[in-house]
Amino acid sequence: MKVVVCIKQVPDTKGGVKFNPDGTLDRGAMLAIMNPDDKAGLEAALRLKDQYGAHVTVLTMGLPKAADVLREALAMGADDAVLVTDRVLGGADTWATSTTLAGALRNMEYDLIITGRQAIDGDTAQVGPQIAEHLGIPVISYAQEIKLDGNKVTVKRQYDDRYHMVEAKLPCLITALSELNDPRYMTPGGIFDACQAEITTWGRADLKDVEDGNLGLNGSPTKIAKASDKVRKGAGEKFVPESPEEAVGIIIGKLKEKHVI
Amino acid sequence: MDFSLSKEHEMARQLFKDFAETEVKPLAQEIDQEHRFPRETVEKLAKYGFLGIPVPKELGGQGCDVLTYAMCVEEMSKVCGTTGVIVSAHTSLCVDPIMTFGTDEQKQKYVVPLAKGEKLGAFGLTEPGAGTDAQGQQTKAVLDGDEWVLNGSKCFITNGKEADVYVIFAVTGKVEKRGKMMKEISAFIVEKGTPGFTFGTKENKMGICGSATYELIFTDCRIPKDNLLGKQGKGFNIAMHTLDGGRIGIAAQALGLAAGALETTIQYVNERKQFGRAIGAFQNTQFQLADMATKVEAARLLVYKAARAKDQYQKDGKSAYGVEAAMAKLYAAEVAMEVTTKCVQLHGGYGYIKEYDVERMMRDAKITEIYEGTSEVQRMVISAALLK
């Protein structure tokens, strides 16, 4: 069984988001990490490796330094790594990114493709489903649990207030939630091997069945006017009721005031 | 000269840091206060290969170098001195001598499961009457047919009772050296569970309270003849060689304690307000932080240099690293004691309260000036090399 996991190097937003004066992300001022949802997807693939001996390849598109997340994935236990990097691919939105990754995946063998649900820098959740569309395979998004049974997968798909059990035949694509699992750590020996490992590097010329008009900044229909950090919520109102009855009265009053009830 | 770390070492440091923050730090205070050995942490250390870092892959290890191992002990000790010494005693004092002096059979039988973390290791040299004076050994081993019979006791043994494999030193006879009759000391491998091998008192210590420190008792304890480690009579050399390596581990522990206390204190002085401003805004605080950071960095360079010197020895089998290790341990231990004490002072009254990590770090730091060769012994080693 062959599993390809698409991963992305993203700025670590834990220490806050930094912006350039022009409103774009100051990636240099932030640590780069493996996108958390993608890491959960990688862990799911590595568990398939542990259980069924699956061969796990990690794939990313990005600057040459994106090789760092590939090495991290290798140090966690992935078998192979592919980096797609080329100046003409820069500035890609989700459409151009998914086109690029699909172009790379057409060169690869896979039974299952796993991507993270969404990246913490863009939060679109579009690339995974778009890749499946380009490749003409089924997609199951928001996976909370993955079970493999012969030639099919059963996935617990999460919603806000419920879940669906969805079954699909292989090959298919699954998008993973970070709640799917606790990703393993790298091992020291894995790190030493990963730093010596050969990373397959592909450019535009290696992408199969893609048109230039769908790649990079020029092939991106999305134009970003401005990026901003999350808007902070106001301090709110504080009440100190003297009895539970009074507390209920205040809450009901506020809910009515806001037309919630 | 290049002081920058390689990509491998940068990644390994990040790994150890993440692991320490997530898996080790949350338990540090609890195991200290309850004097509880963190078995669950040892299982996690084993799972990720942290108990066999400088061991070749053929022997079940990670195939990394001594520098990576030292960085592991450093990062663990930044948040928990106990965890640092568990890794150090296991790796430097048990795995290393068997790897260096053991037969192929001993390596397969002991190093492989130790490096994989399936078993935990310990080292028994110290006796009530033989601390710095290792020649004062009383424990005896007598060959009886195909077995060695051990009688005597060892004290202050780190990982005692928790460990499965023990490297033990005992007197096997007398030899004449420079006209004087000296004790002939040999090294042995003893497994927990061997009849006649029991554990005495668990020590109630000032610091590293989660670490298990026990007395080992041997009463007609019979072990196979093949469990002699190295040649008969070479025990003293094996012990000294082992302690040279062990000092790098303890130096890394001391470095971690100092660096961890400093990091915690930097955070504290930014938050703690007196006279209307953060105490970090006072020049007294700033100068103390500057001095401490400089000393911690100097200690780090000595520790890494000693680790690199041992790496060179692992490659060529002849490069010396004893003096480097002694300097690293001497300096890092004294810096650990000085820095943790100053960090408690900068915390004021809160630094004296067990809820604050620096209180534990200061108690943990003291032992680094004592075990695996006191600071006085390190000065003897260094000056002996200067005056020879």
User: What's the pLDDT at A231?
Assistant: 66
Residue A240 token pair: 């100190």
Residue B77: pLDDT over 80: yes
Instruction: Please tell me the predicted confidence (pLDDT) of residue A230.
Output: 66
What domains are defined for chain A?
2-214 (3.40.50.620)
Please tell me the predicted confidence (pLDDT) of residue A258.
81
**In the predicted model, is pLDDT for residue A21 greater than 80?**
no
- The percentage of residues in chain A with a pLDDT greater than 90, rounded to a whole number, is 67
The answer to whether A72 contacts chain B (CB < 8 Å) is: yes
Predicted confidence band of residue A24 (pLDDT cuts 50, 70, 90) = low
Q: Which phi and psi angles does A211 have, rounded to 5°?
A: -105, 145
Q: Is B271 exposed, middle or buried (0-12, 13-18, 19+ CB in 10 A)?
A: exposed
Residue A73: count of CB within 10 angstroms of its CB: 29
Q: What is the pTM of this model?
A: 0.91
Which pair of tokens denotes residue A211? 């048109």
Query: Where does the pLDDT of residue A5 fall: very low under 50, low under 70, confident under 90, or very high at 90 and above?
Result: very high
- Using pLDDT thresholds of 50, 70 and 90, give the confidence band for residue A23: low
State whether B72 and A186 contact (CB < 8 Å).
Answer: no
Q: Confidence class of residue A108 from pLDDT cuts 50, 70 and 90?
A: very high
Pull the structure tokens for residue B300: 């780090």
pLDDT in the model for residue A30? 78
- For chain A, give the mean pLDDT: 91
Cα B319 to Cα B306, B314, B383, distances in angstroms: 11, 8, 19
The whole-number pLDDT of residue B355 equals 95
Instruction: Provide the pLDDT for residue A18.
Output: 78
> Within the 169-198 window of chain B, which residues sit less than 8 Å (CB to CB) from chain A?
none
Chain A neighbours among B 13-42 (CB < 8 Å)?
15, 18-19
DSSP state for residue B203 in the 8-state scheme: P
Residue B11 distance to chain A (closest CA, Å): 7
Residue of chain B nearest A187, judged by CA positions = B48
Mean pLDDT of chain B: 97
Rounded alpha-carbon distances, angstroms, from residue A44 to A75, A147, A200, B151, B168: 15, 10, 23, 53, 45
Q: Do B57 and A185 count as a contact with CB atoms less than 8 A apart? A: no
**Euclidean distance between CA atoms B42 and A90, whole angstroms:** 45
- Averaged over B111-115, what is the pLDDT? 98
Helix spans in chain B (H): 7-19, 25-34, 39-47, 66-79, 81-88, 96-101, 104-106, 112-115, 235-271, 283-316, 322-347, 357-366, 375-387
The rounded percent of chain B whose pLDDT value lies above 70 is 100
CA trace torsion A120, A121, A122, A127 (10° rounding): -70
**ipTM rounded to 2 decimals:** 0.93
**With contact defined as beta carbons under 8 Å apart, do A129 and A113 qualify?**
no
